[in-house]
Chains A and B, each alone.
Chain A
Amino acid sequence: MKKSTALPRQLATLCCLLSFFLLLNFCLYLVLTRRLSNNFSSVSQAKMIDVAAYLPHEETSDLVMQKTDFSLSGELPTLDGAAALVPVYASVIHSLYPEGSVTYESGQFSDDNYYGENFAPDSKMQYHNTVRGYRAIVDGDTDIFFSAAPSEEQKQYAEEQGVELVYVPIGLEAFVFFVNANNPVDSLTVEQVRSIYAGDYTNWNELGGIDRVINPVTRIEGSGSQTMMLAFMKDRPIAKKSPLAFMGAGIGHSFRYYMNGMVANSGVKMLALNGILPSVDNIKNRTYPVVTPFYAIYRKDTQNPNVQALIDWLLSEEGQALIEAVGYVGIR
């Protein structure tokens, strides 16, 4: 008799325990793991970019071919840049450089590594992205670096190395904020966004949204987007968020073309700031509140005359047409 009641109880306990762990892990999967892209996969590198789509002189590349009579002779500058500007400088190479100027380790392109590129050291195209790229231009590994403004640490590194960098604005870009496409909030004021990141607003219902915790997401220190974010905040420090904020509804920041043209994820939407959307027209006429230049950056002591020639071309009608054809807004 004792045995017959003990067995069901034992089995029930074991089943409950098993169900508890299954449920716990399923919940963890739903709120967190399911949302994480595998950054090391060559296909889903939404954080970086699919470099294979922007390889010069490849038929399948999504690049602009700008017709021009301009040509360079002698030592061609090595171009490098931030992720968001790969389409710009890769299109420059595509339009101006001869075939064979982009070379790969092991002879052919492979994106089977963390940064999704395997350019050979002598390749005229490199892709270091912002954090490594500023180091590379200061160290003399590249000749022109395409990027947003540098962080304080990046400026300091150049100073420490005794290198003066020249920043030439070549185009305009909008710094944007985005939320999930299902979030009912479509527009915020600049001050509201600052207050979210400063920790003054912690729930979307304080901003006309639903009752859900705000998850203000930031980027890695030194990235173009995070440097811009710090400038956007002015003197207001970014608050530490609750460790459970990831279960709420997020707000993130990026640059317009990177979000719309390169990553293009239909699960998110850009917010209007002060009621103004970051459209090309609103960037051009600077009515969107956070318009910022992006730069072609070179070492002042460069010995390569083609560096200045190439930058002059970028500022010419043809160069600006290339930038606009890529999807950015020209500086002129």
Chain B
Amino acid sequence: MNDHHYQKLLYAILATGVVLTLAHLIYAIVAYQQSSIITFIAREWW
């Protein structure tokens, strides 16, 4: 893999990862505000 291709791939993965993580975070925050607290507590990690 030449450097040019490698950098393109690196930035593509980085950009996709950041965008998807941000989208996941925004979804989680919005859904948290709308969510049932009973379900939220019932599904805690124990």
Interface residues in chain A, defined as those with a beta carbon under 8 Å from any beta carbon in chain B: 6-7, 10-11, 13-14, 17-18, 20-21, 24-25, 28-40, 44-47, 178-183, 217, 219, 246, 249-252, 254, 259, 263, 265-268
Contacts and interface: CB of A to CB of B under 8 A. Distances in A.
A33 B10 contact: no
A46 B46 contact: no
A231 B40 CA distance: 24
Contacts of B1: 6-7, 10-11
B41 A25 contact: no
27 contacts: A11-B1, A18-B17, A21-B16, A24-B21, A29-B24, A30-B45, A35-B39, A35-B40, A36-B31, A36-B40, A37-B35, A39-B35, A39-B36, A46-B36, A47-B35, A179-B41, A181-B42, A182-B44, A217-B40, A217-B41, A249-B44, A254-B37, A265-B38, A267-B39, A267-B41, A267-B42, A267-B43
Contacts of B34: 36, 39-40, 47
Nearest to A20: B17
Contacts of B43: 34-35, 267
A29 B25 CA distance: 9
B38 A46 contact: yes
Interface residues of B, number: 29
Given A28-B24, A250-B44, A39 B10 contact: no
Contact of B20 (A6, A13, A25): A25
B13 to A, nearest CB: 5
Contacts of A13: 10
Contacts of B35: 35-37, 39, 47
B31 A14 contact: no
B36 A37 contact: yes
Contact of A33 (B31, B36, B45): B31
B46 A17 contact: no
B26 to A, nearest CB: 11
A37 B38 CA distance: 10
Contact of B13 (A14, A31, A183, A259): A14
A250 B37 contact: yes
B31 A265 contact: no
Contacts of B42: 180-181, 265-268
A32 B28 contact: yes
Given A14-B13, A20-B17, A28-B25, A268 B41 contact: yes
Given A10-B1, A31-B45, A33-B28, 8 more contacts: A10-B6, A14-B10, A36-B34, A178-B41, A182-B46, A183-B46, A263-B36, A267-B43
B18 to A, nearest CB: 8
Nearest to B16: A21
B24 A250 contact: no
B31 to A, nearest CB: 4
The CB with the most chain A CB atoms within 10 A, among B25, B27, B32, B41, is that of B41
6 tightest A-B CB contacts, nearest first: A267-B42, A21-B17, A46-B36, A47-B36, A182-B46, A35-B43
Contacts of B10: 13-14, 17
B38 A252 contact: yes
A17 B37 CA distance: 34
Nearest to A182: B46
